[in-house]
Chains A and B, each alone.
Chain A
Amino acid sequence: MFTLPLDLLLIFTLSTPIVGWATSRYRKGTLSGAYAAAGLAVVGAALYSLYFDVSQAAVFSVPIFGAYTAFLRVDMLGVVMASIFVGVGFAAAIYSIGYMEKETDVPLYFTLLLAMIGGMVGVVFAGDLFTLCVFWELMCISSYVLVAFSREGGESVEAAFKYLIMSGAGSATVLLGISLLYGMSGTLNFQGLAQAFGQAPASPWLLLASLFILAGFGVKAAIVPLHTWLPDAHSAAPSPISAMLSGVVIEVGVFALCRTCFSAFIPVESQWLYLLMALSVATMFVGNLLPLVQSDLKRLLAYSSIGHVGYMLVGLSIGTQLALTGTFLHIFNHALMKGVAFLCAGAIIYRLGTRQMDEMAGIARRMPVTAVAFSVSLLALLGLPPLNGFISELTIVTAAFQSGLAWLGILVIVNSVLSSAFYLRVIGVMLQPAKSDRVKSVREVPLTMLLPIVAMVSMIVIFGLWPDPVMRLMQESAAGVLSVVSQVMG
């Protein structure tokens, strides 16, 4: 119905609770987790076959006939993004089997995880704004519950509530913006919107609609000053969920901005991009200055996600093909880097039971694999060659210089330097001699948690040394996005 990967995701979402219900009480968590992970692997295979279709046809719409035609529109960008979501989700699912062992209601957890991934894949496959919104809500609602999943103490519930209210307000403005667009053009299809508005001069109503949509998606993408929910939510969630939220969910917001900007808002593109540019600068600085004095490890990582969204917005606001390539590449790389970072932080918290960095001194000696992986991911996050983060940041900076926005490129570099202050501090803390007895008694986490970390960290290194295959995919995706613009503008 919704293309094979998405159908599979929804089927697995619905069947995971049945697996949990059917199995014995003790193995419930492990079995439902394994079932969810297997489901994601199958979805990955389905995506791979979809990739071949896309690389031949560039774009295709589903379904082709029927009452509602073409509510899904799959292009290279969609497939690439969906693969990132499913990949990180797969790693998080395997990791969660160990991490969530002691929790109750684990089948529900995996159901929500699958639902969230399904929502995200739906968003990137959506062919019109209405479909996008439906899947968007699927993603949002499951993520609210996931943030509040661990019910110890009120913190996570408070964070989830905050997240719910702010995100709900964002969704409301998005709907308002969409209704304005529909009123003006009579269609919500991206292609149709582009054709309806592309040639015409921009009307004030279009500007207003664009503003509402920017503000709404901006909440999810954590654009400053709409980022305030993020540090609370991302640090209160279970660590694999933090990895998902920081690694992929906020990027869905960036994706949605990109999709709408290069279809419906072609006439107001220049105004839009200026605004985004200003917001991206604010986002970068807030995201990299706030963690400087942070002592809570997960909050630190959550803040740094805001900084990275800032880099992505820089690419988006430049708007050339090279810049979009950099943005998409950074989405991919950030998913890997931040995914590893949160999973490693989770591993340390799992053993140590605290999020405070001071108490983690000396952990490198006790958990060497985790510490090495963590350090590699942090170095990649600060943009150190030859790791993957360097490549995408370099691409964005190069694009800025090529478009005559040297100052923007320099600001990215300045932020990258700034960020090294807190990333390196984390590595420094891990390497310090152990202070507390609790650190001395911990050992490495179980293999199911270590495997996803190691697999993702090796990808960080591999795609840093050999970025070309991914780079080419992202170039194709960027070209696909921009081709809509060039078609409309003739």
Chain B
Amino acid sequence: MPLEWTFAPWLCWALPMVGSVFPLAMKRGGAKAKGLPVVATTFLSLAMALLMLSGLSDHGYVDLQVLWFSLPNGGSVGLGMLVDPLSIIIANIVAFLCLLIMVYSLKYIEGDASAGRYWFLMSLFIGGMLLLTLADNLILFFVGWKIVGLCSYGLIGYYYRDEREHWIGGPAPFAFMKPSRAGLKALLMTTFGDVALLASILIIYLYAGTFNFMELYQTAGNWLALMGGTPGVLTLTCLLFIAGPLSKSAQFPFHEWLPDAMAGPTPVSALIHAATMVKAGVYLVARVLPIFFFAYWVATPSYSEAMTFFVVAAAAGTLTLFLSGTQALVAVELKKVLAYSTISAIGYMMLALGVAGFSPNSFVLGMSSSILHLISHGVYKASLFLCAGIAIHVSGSIYINEMRLSKRSMRLTWLALWIAGLASVGVPPLSGFWSKEGILTSCLDSGQVFLFAVASLTAIITMFYVVRYMGLMFAGKGEEGRGHESLRGTAGLMLLPPVILTAATVLIGLVGPWLTTFLEETFGGYMTETLGLAGVQGAEAGPISIDPVMFLYSLVLIVIGFSLSYWIYFMKRASAVAIIQRHPILGAVYRFLWNRWYIDPLLNKVFVEWTMAIREGVDRVIEGSMDRAINTGIPNLFTGFSRQLRRIQTGVLSINMIYFLLLVVALLLALLFLGVP
């Protein structure tokens, strides 16, 4: 692979890290002045990412290895960078979205007294995200993974003073959530996954003796054979490993932290909790997918336990995309609707990666459509969130049914919301269409009809809720709407990024077929030529074709969802409230969805309330006795030793000289005892 600028991968993540120092070091200057160096370093970081694009010209890779430290048993941990198609694509999309959202933040965070903290965390986040993308080994990857997790925690709880205006949840009779608590929840829930991931990394290391991705691929045959020797180890590794991506990407059963993460500032939600960090899990699964694929399909004898990995990914993805899609139907907070839709979209990606391993036919398509969905979702969801930020800012309400925005004076926002929203459904020819079609096709290719059906059903649901929030957010005909937008002045900074992102959504949609083919060729070539995975069906070269049956099928799904929702929320032929009140079953479903399938209350009960219940007993019995033993007993013991020992330190020279003499005599005796030859 030609990579002329070998410094680019390092600078790409190091620059934002360096940039994060400026906002803290600057004593003077307002929120905006502190942000400018961060925007500048993010821009440079994007430039570095663009320099790496030349690497896409063939299907090879470059592993720039640098030793960090050696481990006693011969292994080592590197600081190296792995530049291959996957990391190039992800790094570019991440850097691009980061730059736009940083520009948006310049206006958003204006006037905030603690903006230095905001810029620091955001910049550090960008560095961490690019680090985990470009890392060439699991440990360095994990470092980046934890950095983004910590930044996410800090930014969700950015308004840690918990003023009333930053609460989410509600409205009134329902419970609210404070930002500091939301941050803690995210940190705790993802940590479960992180610990499991770390455990599996160590297990893999014990068998493979390396953390390096490329070496793991190349020596997969050897270490899998060792691992396969003990039944169950591979299954355990699969389960522990996938817990990491599932928790980071907010997939079932770890998905509950993401809706509450919306307590952070809106650009944070856009960048971290929609466009980039939550994709880190997808990236990691895609990164190790070839290993598990090799284990099940290529290796002889095949390791049937490796299938666990794909089954868990596909099952978790499918369940999540459906359950979060249905929750979006009833949510009334704009950002929460978008959060559910994010979880749902990532569910699609996980599903695609899972079915990729179900058959060699669907491998390349599953992987490439998942990555394409990652790209298109990152772009349109960032746009949606940024528009949501404008809408919340203008209307002063977080609830879609209270916004009543004026369509006339907020035309650009309205248009961007519609285009990005339709892209999220997969309306042709917008970007989401191509990726979603790819995912559905790969489900069919691998013969998973049930998964295909659930994914199709969710497409209808997605259409329904997109139209719903659009109908509720903007004032209808004849109503007085509010709000005002302007492209002039600093306010333009806030409007420009969503406009650019929406344009990109349309653009990606227009070049969709070519992009799809390009990704399929790239990943197909990478898998067969570089990794040497035999049996993978690569992309067939040929004219770009669109399957007319799938196309029609998608259209039918879209039309069903659209007409149903349009009928209720735009034509106002029927009131949703009235329908629910009339049918008790629908009412029960509504409550079920509103309470998030009762998963959140259950988790609260088990992990929060039960812990609180046993707290006192633990404190008294275990903590108290240990406290006495350790905090009083041991110090007293050693202080006693110390006081006794102090007596040798007399400070009297003649006694000191006697020690000298004693030592010589004692050594003499010892040498005699040890044996003079």
Contacts and interface: CB of A to CB of B under 8 A. Distances in A.
Interface residues of A, number: 44
Interface in A461-478: 466-468, 471
B638 A166 contact: no
Contacts of A157: none
Interface string B70-82: 1010000001000
B649 A275 contact: no
Contact of A169 (B70, B655, B657): B657
A208 B643 CA distance: 35
Contacts of A292: 638-639, 641-642
Contact of B649 (A169, A204, A219, A228): A228
B660 A226 contact: yes
A293 B662 contact: no
A-side interface mostly? helix
B667 A204 contact: no
Contacts of B671: 207, 211, 271, 275
B29 interface: no
Contacts of A468: 67-70
A219 to B, nearest CB: 7
B667 A162 contact: no
A201 B649 CA distance: 40
B677 interface: yes
B637 to A, nearest CB: 11
B645 A232 contact: no
Given A204-B677, A228-B656, A271-B671, A289 B638 contact: yes
A201 B660 contact: no
A293 B639 contact: yes
A289 B641 contact: yes
Interface string A178-219: 000000000000000000000001111001100110110011
B532 interface: no
Interface string B632-655: 000100110111011011110101
B668 interface: yes
B667 A290 contact: no
A173 B667 CA distance: 14
Interface in A421-438: 421
Contacts of B649: 228, 231, 290
Contacts of A208: 668
Contacts of A161: 653
A136 B659 CA distance: 23
A425 B650 CA distance: 25
Question: Could you say which of B69, B70, B670 has the most chain A C-beta atoms within 10 Å of its C-beta?
Answer: B69
Contacts of A228: 648-651, 655-656, 659
Contacts of A291: 642
Contact of B667 (A215, A219, A231): A215
A278 B670 CA distance: 11
Contacts of B69: 391, 466-468, 471
Contacts of A290: 642, 645-646, 649
Contacts of B641: 289, 292
Question: Could you say which of A169, A226, A228 has the most chain B C-beta atoms within 10 Å of its C-beta?
Answer: A228
A154 interface: no
Contacts of A289: 638, 641-642, 645
Contacts of B653: 161-162, 165-166
Question: Could you say which of A166, A201, A214, A293 has the most chain B C-beta atoms within 10 Å of its C-beta?
Answer: A293
B226 interface: no
A295 B392 CA distance: 59
Contacts of A58: none
B25 interface: no
Interface in A130-165: 161-162, 165
Nearest to A218: B663
Given A215-B664, A275-B667, A225 B659 contact: yes
Contacts of B79: 466
Interface of A: 161-162, 165-166, 169-170, 173, 201-204, 207-208, 211-212, 214-215, 218-219, 225-226, 228-229, 231-232, 271, 274-275, 278, 286, 289-293, 391, 398, 402, 418, 421, 466-468, 471
7 smallest beta-carbon distances between A and B, as pairs: A292-B642, A225-B659, A228-B656, A271-B674, A289-B642, A293-B642, A204-B676
5 contacts: A215-B663, A226-B663, A271-B674, A289-B638, A466-B69
